[in-house]
Structure 1
Amino acid sequence: MTAASDTPEQESWFHRNQQSVAPWLFLAPGILFFLFYVIFPVFQSFNLSLYAWDGLGEAEYVGLRNYEDLYWEYVDRDAFYTSLKNNVIWLALYLLAIPAGLFIALFLNQTVFGIRLYKSLFFFPFVISQVVVGLVFTWFYDPTFGLLTAALGWFGLEGVNILGDERFVTYGIILAGLWPQTAYCMILYLTGLNAVDPEQIEAGRLDNAKGWRMLWHIVLPQLKPATFIAFVVTIIGALRSFDLISIMTEGGPFGSSRVLAYYMFEVALSEYGFRMGYGAAIAVVLFMIMMCFIAYFLWSMYREEKGR
C-alpha cells in the first residue's frame, strides 16, 4: 500500500497558494527591473536636483537654489524660457499625429486594391531610426540641393533655409517628428479597429448613421483605449524630444530650437560646465509636466470606467 497523500493541513504554504503566487514569480524580474531602472532613477534625480555637483567632485547641498536659477532664467527669457516655449509648441503640434494616424488607419482598414502596399508605405517610418529620420529631413530642407528647394524652384520661388532660420527651425523639426509618430498612432488605431464590434456597426447602419455620425457615435467610443495610449505616448514623445534636435540642429541656430530635454543635456554634460544638479532640476520640471498630463488622462479614464 502506498502512503496516503498529504492532507491540506500537511501541504506547504507554496502548494496551497501556488496559483496566486505563480503570476508574481513571473512578474518579479520585470518589476525589479522597472524599480531599479525607472523608479529609483526618478527619486535619484529629485535628490540630485538639490545639490551642486560637477559629476566628479564632492556634491554640495544647495537646497532649492537650482530651481531658483531656473525661475530667474525664465523671468530673464534666457535658454530655459526658449526651451520651455519650444516644448509647448512641440506639445501642441505633435498632437496632430493622433487625428492624422486615425484617418490613415480608417483608410487602410478598407479592402481596396493594393492595400498591402499602402500599409507597408505608411508603416515604413515607424521601423526606421529617429537618426535616419533626422538625416533624411536635413537633406530635404537643405537650401542648396534639398528636395524642398527644388520643389519651390518649380514654382519660381526661392529656397528657404528652414533649419537656419530662427522663425521656422522648430516647426521644421516637429514636421520631421510627426512623420514616424503618425505611423505609430496609425498602428494603434489599426489594432483598435480590428476590435470594433461589427454588430454595433450594423445597428448604426440600421439607424441611418453614416460618415461622421458613424465615426463619432459608434467607432470612436470603441477606440478610447487606443486613443488613450496614443495621447500618452505622443505627449511623452513631444516632451522628451531630443534625438531629432541633436541630429538636425544641435539646438541652433543660436539656441532657438532647444527643448528642455536637449537643454538638460547641454547643462549637465556639455558646454555649460557639467552642472549635474541644475540638469536634474530641469529633468524634474519635465517629469512633473509629463505627470500632469498623464495623471489627467488616467483620472478621466477612471471616472469613465467608474461611471459605467
Structure 2
Amino acid sequence: MDRANNSNKQKKRVIPISLVPWVFMAPALVLFALYVLYPIIESFTLSLYSWDGMGDKVWVGLDNYIELFDSEVFFKALTNNVLWLLLFMLAPPLGLAIALFLNQDVKGIRLVKALFFFPFVISQVIIGLVFTWFYDPSLGLLNSILAFFGSEPIALLSNEEYVTFGIIAAGLWPQIAYCMILYLTGLNNLNPELIEAARLDNAKGFKLLRHIILPQLSPATFIAVVVTVIGALRSFDLVATMTAGGPWGSSTVLAYMMYEESIFNYRMGYGAAVAVVLFLIMAAYIAFFLTRMLRSEK
C-alpha cells in the first residue's frame, strides 16, 4: 500500500523537484532581465547609432567611441571619477572607526548612533543643497570658520581646482554613515567565544582587531567596498545639484556627461557610449574585487 501511495504521489507531481527553485526564482529573473539585462544590451546597441531621440537612428558603428576618446571633456570626467573613487575609499575605514567607537554600552550612545545615522536617510539633493549653503562665500559656515582663523574666504564651488574635492566631501558624509551601519551590524554578530579565547592568549588592541575582529567583518567589508565603488563611479546627484558640472566642466563626471549629452544635446547614441564605458569600468573593477575575494576565502 505504501509503495502504491508513493507512486501515486509521484504521478501527481506536475513539476519535477529539481525545477521547483527555478519556479520560485522565475518572477525575479524575469524582472531582472527586463529592467537590468535588457537596458544594458539596448545601451550597447544604441551606442552604435546616431540618434536625437525623435527621428530615425543612423548607423555610425564605432564613431561615437572614436569621438569619445578624442574628447577632453571625457578625460576630465574620467579623471574626476578616479578622484571620486580614490577618496571614497576613505569611507569604509572611517565607517569602521566610528562603528568601533559607537559599539559600546554607554549611557546616551543610542542618541549618538542616531546622529551618525542621520546623513544616510537624507536625500542626496538635500545634502547637495546643505553643502552648497555651507560653501557659500558670503554667508556659508565654512568661510566663517576660515575667517575666525584669519584666512581669506574661498568660493569653493567656483574654483576649478577645489570644486571636485568639495563635492566629494559632501558625498563622503552619507557614505561613511552607510559603511558605519554595515560595520555596526557586523560587530553585533561577532563570535564572542573567539574574542574571549584571544583575550586569554593576551591578544588585545590592534592585534585583536586585526586577527580576530576584522576577519569576521569580511562580509561587511566586501559589501561596503563594492557599494562605495559603485557610488563613486555613478556619482551624479551631487554634481547636478551643486554645480551642474561647472565651472566650465571642471567638476563633471561620466554619469553627468552621459545625462548632459543625452538630454540637453540630444545625442542619445553618444550618451549611450559614455554609459557603456562607465559600465565596463564598473564591471571590470567589481569582477577584479570578487576574484580576489574568492581567492582569499579559498
What TM-score do you get using the length of structure 1 for normalisation?
A: 0.92
SS at match of 1:72: coil
Shift of 1:222: 0.7
Give the counterpart of 1:250 among 233, 237, 244.
244
- Give the match for residue 127 of structure 2: 133
2:66 to 65, 68, 75: 68
* Counterpart for residue 284 of structure 1: 276
Partners in 2 of 1:4 and 1:220 — Cα distance? 54
Match for 1:25 among 23, 26, 33? Answer: 23
Q: Distance in 1 between matches of 2:277 and 2:12?
A: 45
Counterpart position of 1:43: 41
Residue 14 (structure 1) shift: 7.0
Gaps of 5+ in 2: none
Partner of 2:54: 56
SS in 1 for 2:70: helix
For structure 1, which segment, 93-102 or 19-28, has the greater mean C-alpha deviation from structure 2 after superposition? Answer: 19-28
Shift in alpha-carbon separation, 1:207–1:5, aligned structure 2, 3 A:
closer
Distance change (3 Å), C-alpha of 1:208 and 1:51: same
Alignment of 1:84-123 (within 5 A): 84-123=78-117
Pairing 1:213–2:207 present: yes
Match for residue 171 of structure 2 among 177, 183, 187: 177
Moved more, 261-270 or 22-31: 22-31
1:8, distance to aligned residue in structure 2 (A): 3.6
Separation in structure 1 between the aligned mates of residue 132 and residue 125 of structure 2, nearest angstrom = 10
Q: Distance in 2 between matches of 1:151 and 1:282?
A: 40
Aligned match for 2:189, one of 181, 192, 195: 195
Aligned to 1:34: 32
Equivalent residue letter for 2:56: E
1 CA distance for matches of 2:113 and 2:104?
A: 11
Residue 153 of structure 1 and its aligned partner are, at CA, apart by 1.5
For residue 32 of structure 1, report the CA deviation from its aligned partner: 1.3
CA distance in 2, matches of 1:6, 1:253: 80
Q: Distance in 2 between matches of 1:282 and 1:13?
A: 55
Deviation at 1:27, TM superposition (A): 2.6
Structure 2 counterpart of 1:29, which letter?
A: P
Match of 1:196, SS?
coil
* Cα root mean square deviation, aligned: 1.8
Aligned to 2:73: 79
1:300 Cα offset (Å): 1.5
- Could you say what secondary structure the match of 1:186 adopts? helix
For residue 13 of structure 2, the aligned residue among 15, 33, 44 is: 15
String of CA shifts for 1:181-221, please: whole Å, max 9, x gaps.
Answer: 00000011111111111111111111211111111111111
CA distance in 2, matches of 1:96, 1:14: 58
Q: Distance in 1 between matches of 2:216 and 2:15?
A: 37
Q: Percent identity?
A: 59
Q: How many Å separate the matches in 2 of 1:169 and 1:261?
A: 17
Please report how far the alpha carbon of residue 24 of structure 1 lies from its aligned counterpart in structure 2 after TM superposition. 3.4
Q: Select 1:300's aligned residue among 282, 286, 292.
A: 292
Secondary structure of 2:244's counterpart equals coil
Counterpart Cα distance in 1 of 2:146 and 2:27:
55
**How does the TM-score come out when normalised to structure 2?**
0.95
Residue 13 of structure 1 and its aligned partner are, at CA, apart by: 6.3
Task: Give the length in aligned residue pairs.
Answer: 298
Q: Deviations over 1:2-23 (max 9, x none)?
A: x999744444667375765444
How far is 1:274 from its partner? 0.9
Do residues 232 (structure 1) and 226 (structure 2) align?
yes
- The answer to whether structure 1 residue 160 and structure 2 residue 116 are counterparts is no
SS state at 1:175 partner: helix
Q: Which amino acid aligns with 2:13?
A: H
User: Which digits, 9 at most, give the CA deviation of each residue in 1:247-293, with x for residues without a partner?
Assistant: 000000011000000001111111xx311111111101100110111
Letter in 1 for 2:74: F
